[in-house]
Amino acid sequence: MLAYLARRLAQMLVVVFLVSAVSFGLLFLSGDPTEIMLGAAADVMTQEQIEEFRRARGFDRSWPVQYLVFIAHAARGDFGDSLRHKRPAFEIVWERVPATVQLGTVAFLISVGVGIPLGVLSATRRGSTVDAGAMLVALLGQSVPSFWLGIVLIMIFGVYLHVLPISGRGSWLHLIMPGLTLAAFPLARNARLTRSSVLEVLHQEYVRTARAKGVSEPGVVYRHALRNALIPVVTIIGLQLGFLLGGSVIVETIFAWPGVGRAIVSAIGDKDFPVVQAGVTMLAVTFVAVNLAVDLLYALLNPRIRYT
Amino acid sequence: MKGVDGQMTGLWTRSTPRSLRIHAHRAAAVATMVALLGILLASGGVAAPAPDTAVIVQGADIVTLEPMFSQSLPDQNAIIHIFETLTRFGDDLTLLPGLAESWRLRDARTWEFRLTPGRRFQNGEPLNAEAVRWTLMRGKEFFEKKLADVQYAYNLLDLDTVEAVDDVTVRIRTKSASPILPLHMAHSQTAPMAPRYTAQTPVNTLERRPIGSGPYRVVEFVPNERVVLEAWSEHPRRPQIRRLLFRPVPEDATRLAELAAGNADIIVNVPPDLIPQVERNRAARVESVPGLRRIFIGLRQDRHLALRDKRVRQAFNYAFDCATMMRNLLAGKGECTGTVANVPDQNPAVKPYPYDQRRAAALLDEAGWRMNPRTNVREQGGRALEMGFDCPRGRYIKDSEICQVIAADLAKIGVKTDLQIFDWSVYVGKSARRGAGFRDIYLLGSGPGFSCQADLALVQKNSGSNRSLFDSARFEEIWDELDLAFDVKKRRDLCHKMQEVIFDESPLIFIWFQTDIYGVSQRLVWKARVDERIRLHDSRFR
């Protein structure tokens, strides 16, 4: 177990290292960072002032040196000051984390709490109208783009029925529409995966044995079949958790949810590279850390899995 | 419903017919959904904005309310309600008294402002000449130390000394002659701040709880979510609306939905193609006003030989069917222009170039660029009239679409363009170092300079914003004369003359002053301003 943990941690470090390289490279993809950061402000600056800005930010050094300095600072959570907020970039991103975690958790609960029962219902009523309806919902959930779904929900519940707040963060009501929008895709995936997994398990010998013993149908499904059918579903759920907690750029933007995703989008618009770098790195670390945690928890659900 | 070993109990048993159980399941599901909807409806739904609160929904967060630390428009829209300046711009951009009731020029480098006596800040500190001196010297210090965001304003201000002559008289001396200093005193970065409070308060607190002398004071600042201002009861002109709530909503469609649902009183940046959606809503209206942002196509003088010829540049202007584009692409919400000077300095005699393809073709013929009927591209000495055309996307209203229209119009007169469209974050890098990254022609917008001279710096040979590298002796001669002119009428005449020269020389393809389009609730009495500021000092609810 310890060896496995050490190997996974090493892999995690490699991923984070690669992400940091991409994050660092972002700064140079679109040209000279000094020119991009200054933009029109350079119009009223002398060449000396521009060069001073370049030196102050360390852009006059070679790329490898700049990268090493970036890594050394980033490891301490120091991505420099935000150009717009004039505060540490990490702080700007960190203060948005609670909102993103809140939304991600709600979306996660919806996707699991609705998706799995929907999949079970669909599998146990295979070929029925219920099955067709559930799979239609799943198909829509996977194929409808979140920006479209978000706007449709806003029009129905916010504008016409006027029962839900349209944007922003406040009461629990504010969580419903963004939560549903963010949950739509994973919910659909959970439902489809659960359905196929339960259907597969329902044909196993031990299920037949349980039925032969006279166990009620709900008992067969929930106590015998579902526990085994959930193993592949849990793998996917683990990946989803990282994705949902990592924040959704589109959903947060549509619903003006003050999370990490929206911070990154507005930082891109403002050419606020330190915030973009801090945000991207934080999302990557969150994603790999949650995935690792889920993998480790996997053993609790499936004792057959041994870490080597 | 389930007993031991999962056996059904009560009314619902194994002997219950399957069809009945299915019906029961469906009924239960429907009942649950109805109940959930009922709970939502019974909860009273979403509370409409309080009747005494105006809700302003902007496209971006308010980052700071400290005037010297901000240049962004969302910040400014709140700041102008909390702080006041010595002078201010009226609705038509004429300069009006603010905290200063009068001002006069003492000599070429010295202006004297007389403050309204008896004014105080919101915390009771006296708003006197010393407070003005302290504020300006703080800005000067920030400028010299390259702190805060005062680079633009204090660079223009060029301060030497500031003296509090008595309690209500401030004498401001600049390093060089500054005929337009009173205009700069309308900039919020020069707004007097309460010296004691400002000096003793950490920056983080100042950014969220500033003390000004304006008609509103801050009561709540939740970063990234909302800012709430409340009318200050001791202000000499107490506003009629009690509370202002500023919210950020970056997505256009969501802002429109907030307006349609009655949750917003003002929304910014309504896209022209969504105007009918606002107009269909009886509770809302569209307010639009030609803004101060000049949108134009720069014609670089240092790359393509053809662009050095005035006739070619004029031909480009004649070839552009601006009026049709306004009608079809911009919902008729804009006006074409033939100048880059803003109101109130615009020369009324300078009209937009008429759409005249024949005249354009004749000018190109005259300049020696003849049409090759095989390629439909003009040529001179075997060289085709082809040029690189750079354009941003997503920075200005319909920017990339405008470029496509102009490229098509130029093609009609035999000018071939290689149009490349870039995301703004890339494009802005190209615009740096006087547009060193641009190819032959490029679309750009430029905000207001708040004076004729600052506006026309776009084509002045030494100006950093002159990315076309235009250099006209006629223009420079008048520019130098304007530098030393203090008489208001003379300055205006010179400004008008310069616009005539620019029109004739055509260093740009003139497009328009970008229209600012707002969605406004019918309950609010408010008019859009040309300077993009959302000012609610004199607004009220119907």
Those residues whose C-beta lies under 8 Å from the C-beta of residue B305, and which sit 6 or more positions away, are: none
Interatomic CA distance for residues B442 and B465, integer angstroms: 13
Beta strand B53-58 with B87-89: parallel, antiparallel or unpaired? Answer: unpaired
The single-letter code of the amino acid at A65 is V
Q: Using a CB-CB distance cutoff of 8 angstroms, which residues of chain B are in contact with residue A256?
A: 247-251, 254
Q: Which of B269, B211, B220, B268 is nearest to B243 (CA)?
A: B220
| pLDDT for residue B408 is more than 80 | yes
CB spacing of B225 vs A169 below 8 angstroms: yes
Interatomic CA distance for residues B174 and B155, integer angstroms: 11
The pLDDT tens digits of the residues spanning B441-460 come to 999 988 877 788 888 988 99
| pLDDT for residue B344 is more than 90 | no
Those residues whose C-beta lies under 8 Å from the C-beta of residue B122, and which sit 6 or more positions away, are: B194, B211, B212, B213, B217, B232, B234
The shortest CB-CB distance from B429 to any of A35, A45, A166 is to A35
Count of A–B CB contacts within 8 Å? 144
pLDDT at B30: 58
Interatomic CA distance for residues B527 and B524, integer angstroms: 9
Distance from CA of A131 to the nearest CA of B (A): 13
Distance from CA of B449 to the nearest CA of A (A): 12
Percent of chain B surpassing pLDDT 70:
89
Interatomic CA distance for residues B274 and B252, integer angstroms: 9
Interatomic CA distance for residues B442 and A282, integer angstroms: 37
Q: Using a CB-CB distance cutoff of 8 angstroms, which residues of chain B are in contact with residue A168?
A: 225-226, 247, 249
Distance from CA of B455 to the nearest CA of A (A): 13
pLDDT at B6: 38
Q: B457 and B446 in contact (C-beta within 8 Å)?
A: no
pLDDT at A62: 83
Highest mean pLDDT among A219-223, A226-230, B500-504: B500-504
Sheet strands (E) in A36-157 = none
Rounded average pLDDT over B365-380: 95
Q: Which of B428, B315, B442 is nearest to B389 (CA)?
A: B442
The pLDDT tens digits of the residues spanning B263-301 come to 999 999 898 888 888 888 888 999 988 888 899 999 999
pLDDT at B16: 46
A236–B contact, CB cutoff 8 A:
no
H/E element holding A194?
A: helix A173-202
Q: Using a CB-CB distance cutoff of 8 angstroms, which residues of chain A are in contact with residue B294?
A: none
The pLDDT tens digits of the residues spanning B126-138 come to 999 999 999 999 9
Bridge partners of B421, per DSSP, are B391
Q: Is the ipTM of this structure higher than 0.85?
A: no
Those residues whose C-beta lies under 8 Å from the C-beta of residue B342, and which sit 6 or more positions away, are: B93, B292, B294, B448, B449, B450, B455, B513, B530
Q: Using a CB-CB distance cutoff of 8 angstroms, which residues of chain B are in contact with residue A164?
A: 40, 45-46
Among B residues 215-234, those touching chain A with beta carbons less than 8 Å apart: 223-226
Bridge partners of B520, per DSSP, are B266, B285
Interatomic CA distance for residues B167 and B182, integer angstroms: 19
Closest residue in B to A53 (Cα–Cα): B146
Q: Is residue A247 left, alpha or beta, with left meaning phi > 0 and alpha meaning psi from -120 to 50?
A: left
Question: If you search the block for the tokens 């222009």, which residue do you land on?
Answer: B337
Q: Using a CB-CB distance cutoff of 8 angstroms, which residues of chain B are in contact with residue A173?
A: 40, 43, 46
Rounded average pLDDT over A228-237: 80
The pLDDT tens digits of the residues spanning A181-225 come to 999 999 999 999 999 988 888 888 888 888 888 888 778 887 778
Among B residues 23-52, those touching chain A with beta carbons less than 8 Å apart: 37, 40-41, 43, 45-46
Give, in degrees to the nearest 5, the angle at Cα B43 between B40 and B44: 105
Interatomic CA distance for residues A150 and A250, integer angstroms: 9
Best residue in A26, A27, A29, A30 to probe B by mutation, most B CBs within 10 Å? A30
A260-269 and B424-435 helices, crossing angle to 10°: 30
Closest residue in A to B145 (Cα–Cα): A49
The shortest CB-CB distance from A166 to any of B224, B258, B464 is to B258
Distance from CA of B198 to the nearest CA of A (A): 18
| pLDDT for residue A178 is more than 80 | yes
Q: Which of A132, A144, A116 is nearest to A251 (CA)?
A: A144
The shortest CB-CB distance from A44 to any of B155, B224, B253 is to B155
**First-residue to last-residue Cα distance in chain B:** 58
Distance from CA of B70 to the nearest CA of A (A): 9
Interatomic CA distance for residues B68 and B75, integer angstroms: 11
The shortest CB-CB distance from B431 to any of A39, A167, A254 is to A39
Q: Which of A285, A256, A261 is nearest to A97 (CA)?
A: A261
The shortest CB-CB distance from A159 to any of B247, B261, B423 is to B261
Interatomic CA distance for residues B254 and B271, integer angstroms: 12
| pLDDT for residue B89 is more than 50 | yes
B263–A contact, CB cutoff 8 A:
yes
Closest residue in B to A250 (Cα–Cα): B251
Q: How confident is the model at residue B342 (pLDDT cuts 50, 70, 90)?
A: confident
A5–B contact, CB cutoff 8 A:
no
pLDDT at B60: 85
Cα–Cα separations (whole angstroms), residue B366 to B7, B120, B309, B369, B386: 98, 67, 11, 7, 18
Rounded average pLDDT over B58-62: 88
Interatomic CA distance for residues B540 and B52, integer angstroms: 9
Other CB atoms within 10 Å distance of the CB of residue A209: 12
Q: Which of B321, B319, B299, B320 is nearest to B310 (CA)?
A: B299
Closest residue in A to B425 (Cα–Cα): A271
Interatomic CA distance for residues B387 and B299, integer angstroms: 10
Question: If you search the block for the tokens 């507005």, which residue do you land on?
Answer: A266
Q: Is the pTM of this model over 0.90?
A: no
pLDDT at B320: 97
CB spacing of A163 vs B61 below 8 angstroms: no
Interatomic CA distance for residues B163 and B136, integer angstroms: 10
Closest residue in A to B429 (Cα–Cα): A36
